[in-house]
Structure 1
Amino acid sequence: MYIPPAFKDDIESIRSTIRGARLASLVTATTNGPVATPLPLFLDESEGEHGVLYGHVAKANPQWKLPPIGDALAIFSGPDAYVTPSWYATKQETGKVVPTWNYVAVHAYGPVEFFHEPERLLEAVTRLTNRHESSRAKPWAVDDAPADFIAAQLRGIVGLRIPVVRFEGKRKMNQNRPEADRVGVAQGLAASENAQDREVAPLIPLSA
């Protein structure tokens, strides 16, 4: 991922983006070409130097059967928004402005291991479920379902484990624009009828 110095994200923000992402994309290079699967992943920060990603794919998904060439890539996306030049103070001053897109993105790289052991699958599925159910008033738990039913469901998936060897994090939020332009963008996004725009507004840095 191309990351100009002004947009390089720090490790804590990278981990926060991964924790906040609802869906990721798993990409592997194979002799058949690149293969990608959208799926939820979680990062176990206690394992290894950079943490370990866990998730699962359907057993019918051919991606796990194709030997990967090199490291796998997991892509996580944070908030994003279109930025109109009309919000820039510079538009009134010189007119020398163009549209852009603000976004947060994280790429995590590492060797992927696919596994089938029922105990490991159950642990991964339980942890992933708890992560997304924990904020609900009445969280659903894996053991709410009959054990034989869960066992049958586990036979239809393949677990995956990626020890992360490196991260790339990009936070493109108009850091390269003058302060007056950034203020205009933050105000414009905050006033938008689009909920995603309003989510991006507080991420605009208002001081250098």
Structure 2
Amino acid sequence: MYVPPAFREDDLPSLHAVIREARLANLVTATEGGLVATPLPLFLAPEEGPHGTLYGHLARVNPQWKLSPAGDAMALFMGPEAYVSPSWYPSKQEHGKVVPTWNYVAVHAYGPAEFFEDADRLLEVVSRLTRVHESARAEPWAVTDAPDAFIRAQLRGIVGLRMPITRIDGKRKMSQNRSAEDRAGVAAGLSSSNRASDRAVAALIPG
């Protein structure tokens, strides 16, 4: 990912926060047959390794896990994003030398993709992944709510993924390269949008 210095995000807790909040990632591997990508919910184990470790699972019939990857895999996480209209820049009235752009937060994590089929490890992964996404509910569903034999049968249809993060790139493009007046104009424009993602970006633009 191309990251100009003004937009670089190196703070590991901030990068981990983006991963946690993204909910759905894209797992990309390079194989002899070309690039392969699968959208996956992943959870982060921050205590494993210098950058943390990602866990998830794929359908057993998904050929991605059977294709030998050439080098590391990549997991792509997107945070808030929004279109930026040049009409929001006060500088447009001064000289007109402005163009549209996009503000966004992105994290790319790299590491070896380790696939596994052990039923007990799979159960641990799906149980933890479920807790991550059910914890905010008033009455969270748990894997143990379903019959054990049914869950064990479901596990036979998936394979686990463990991906230790060996490198991580973060980008927070929030109009940092514009003047304070232009940033204020963008924040005001996005704040008035009826799109929740636009308003989320507005809150991230520095004053």
| TM-score of the pair, normalised by structure 2 | 0.98
What code does the residue aligned with 2:142 have? A
Identify unmatched segments of 5+ residues in structure 2: none
1:34 aligned to 2:43? Answer: no
Partner of 1:108: 109
Supply the distance in 2 between the matched residues of 1:18 and 1:195 (Cα, whole angstroms): 19
Trace 1:34-53 onto structure 2 (pairs within 5 A).
34-53=35-54
- The answer to whether the 8 Å contact 2:12/2:51 transfers is no
**Alpha-carbon deviation of 1:119?**
0.5
1:193 aligned to 2:194? Answer: yes
Trace 1:5-154 onto structure 2 (pairs within 5 A).
5-9=5-9, 10-154=11-155
**Alpha-carbon deviation of 1:183?**
0.4
Runs of 4+ displaced beyond 2 Å? none
Residues 69-96 of structure 1: CA deviation (Å, up to 9, x unaligned):
0000000000100000010011011111
What code does the residue aligned with 2:110 have? Y
What code does the residue aligned with 1:2 have? Y
Partner of 2:166: 165
Trace 1:172-191 onto structure 2 (pairs within 5 A).
172-191=173-192
Supply the distance in 2 between the matched residues of 1:19 and 1:196 (Cα, whole angstroms): 17
**Alpha-carbon deviation of 1:18?**
0.2
Q: How many pairs were matched up? A: 206
- The alignment partner of 2:172 has SS state of strand
Residues 108-132 of structure 1: CA deviation (Å, up to 9, x unaligned):
0000100000010000000000000
CA RMSD of aligned residues (A): 0.6
Identify unmatched segments of 5+ residues in structure 1: none
Supply the distance in 2 between the matched residues of 1:51 and 1:195 (Cα, whole angstroms): 30
- The answer to whether the 8 Å contact 2:190/2:202 transfers is yes
Q: Identify the range of structure 1 (187-196 vs 79-88) with the bigger mean alpha-carbon deviation.
A: 187-196
What code does the residue aligned with 2:164 have? P
Q: Identify the range of structure 1 (194-203 vs 25-34) with the bigger mean alpha-carbon deviation.
A: 194-203
Supply the distance in 1 between the matched residues of 2:138 and 2:89 (Cα, whole angstroms): 43
Supply the distance in 1 between the matched residues of 2:124 and 2:169 (Cα, whole angstroms): 28
